[in-house]
Amino acid sequence: MIFYRIQPVRKFLLALFILASATTSISAYSQAAYPNRPIKMISPFPPGGASDTLARLVASKLGEGLGQTVTVDNRAGASGNIGHEAAAKSQPDGYTLLLSNSSSVVTNPHLFKKLPFDPLNDFAPISMVASAGQVLVVHPSVPATTVAELTALAKANPNKLNFGSGGKGIQSHISGEMYKSAVGVDIVHIPYKGTVQAVSDLLAGQIQMVFSDMAPALPHIKSGKLRAIAVTSSQRSAVLPDVPTISESGLPGFSSGVWWSVLGPKGTPVEIVNRINSEIGKMMQSADVRDAYAKLGITPQHSTPGKVLENIRAESPVMAKILKAAGVEAE
């Protein structure tokens, strides 16, 4: 009788063991098989700008490393908030990624009272991928060739000069506010849905200046359709070596730039995060990637996932002080 009482228990335990083994095998197989279908990378800005151009480059090279297609999904608007919100609400399975930038995760929390995502808690950081300064460009009709001349012109014509940006809180906006605060001029901010649109109106003479990412401005600088006044980085740009920095143009210590990172939705498995991070590291060592970055005027970056969060935490209070000094309040 004892045998017949124990046998069902043994069968039950054996069934549990088989089920657990099968579950573990399936999980291990799923992780080993990643990725087994196309991946989507959300670009939170319009096509043609620096962020979108970078997203397409990273997506293409990442796809080569992962052995799957990585397509770019543009979700532009609200200074990058729409794309970030979409990514934050996606399934954390490694098949939705986000090409984020510092404007969205460092600056936007101080510009919007109700942000639709939490930069520190809604994402799984993967790696830094790039950093860059900007270039201050003006329409040829503006009678200024240096920062000093532009400042004198602005002071002589308060609220008459407009500067365009890629949107409220985007680095092109922040750079303009930093310049205004540093020299004490009144120039009017005109926000667009992306820097490409701002540059387009600058070309048409609708606005007078833009603190632009390198990619959308470079062709027009080289063709003479726009005039480069200075770059915002602490050192001169390799793609515009004859253009001085704002710091060496009479504003010592002036430095403004942006960085980009790849993020996933919170809860993305650590194995997948590590796999993508590893591929990004390999990508940044590629000669063709480094050449492509150089042509865009940006610097390759690769980091641990934690470095992304470290940057956000370190830069957020600094940005808060910059915005306060510039009189910019959250809306």
pLDDT, tens digit (0-9, with 9 covering 90-100), for 223-269: 999 999 999 998 899 889 999 999 999 999 998 988 999 999 999 99
For residue 58, pLDDT over 70 is answered with yes
**Residue reference for tokens 């602005």:** 154
Distance CA 228, CA 221 (A): 6
**Residue 182 has which token pair?**
């540093």
Distance CA 17, CA 9 (A): 12
Q: How far is CA 244 from CA 58, 230, 233, 247, in A?
A: 30, 5, 10, 8
Q: What is residue 10's predicted lDDT score, i.e. its pLDDT?
A: 55
Work out the average pLDDT over 98-104.
95
- If pLDDT is split at 50, 70 and 90, which confidence band does 7 have? low
**Residue 309 has which token pair?**
């969060």
CA dihedral for 190, 193, 199, 203, sign (positive or negative): negative
Work out the average pLDDT over 305-311.
96
Q: How far is CA 270 from CA 99, 289, 312, in A?
A: 18, 26, 20
For residue 32, pLDDT over 80 is answered with no
Percent of the chain with pLDDT over 90: 72
| Run of H or E including 127 | strand 123-133
Distance CA 175, CA 198 (A): 14
If one counts every other C-beta atom within 10 angstroms of the C-beta of residue 127, the result is 24
In total, the chain counts a number of residues equal to 331
Each residue's pLDDT tens digit, 128-151 = 999 999 999 999 999 999 999 999
Give the DSSP letter string of 225-287: SSEEEEE-SSS-BTTBTTSPBSGGGT-TT---EEEEEEEEETT--HHHHHHHHHHHHHHHT-H
Percent of the chain with pLDDT over 70: 90
Angle value at C-alpha 301, between 95 and 112, nearest 5 degrees: 70
Beta pairing partners, 101: 260
Q: Are 35 and 95 in contact (CB under 8 A)?
A: yes
- If pLDDT is split at 50, 70 and 90, which confidence band does 26 have? very low
* Average model confidence (pLDDT) across the chain: 89
Residue 158 per-residue DSSP state:
T
- If pLDDT is split at 50, 70 and 90, which confidence band does 28 have? very low
Going through 171-244 in order, the beta strands assigned E by DSSP cover 188-191, 209-212, 227-231
Domains and CATH numbers, the chain: 34-132+259-325 (3.40.190.150), 135-249 (3.40.190.10)
Angle value at C-alpha 49, between 74 and 291, nearest 5 degrees: 110
Q: Are 37 and 186 in contact (CB under 8 A)?
A: no
Sheet of 299-300, strand order: 70-74, 39-43, 96-101, 257-265, 123-133, 299-300
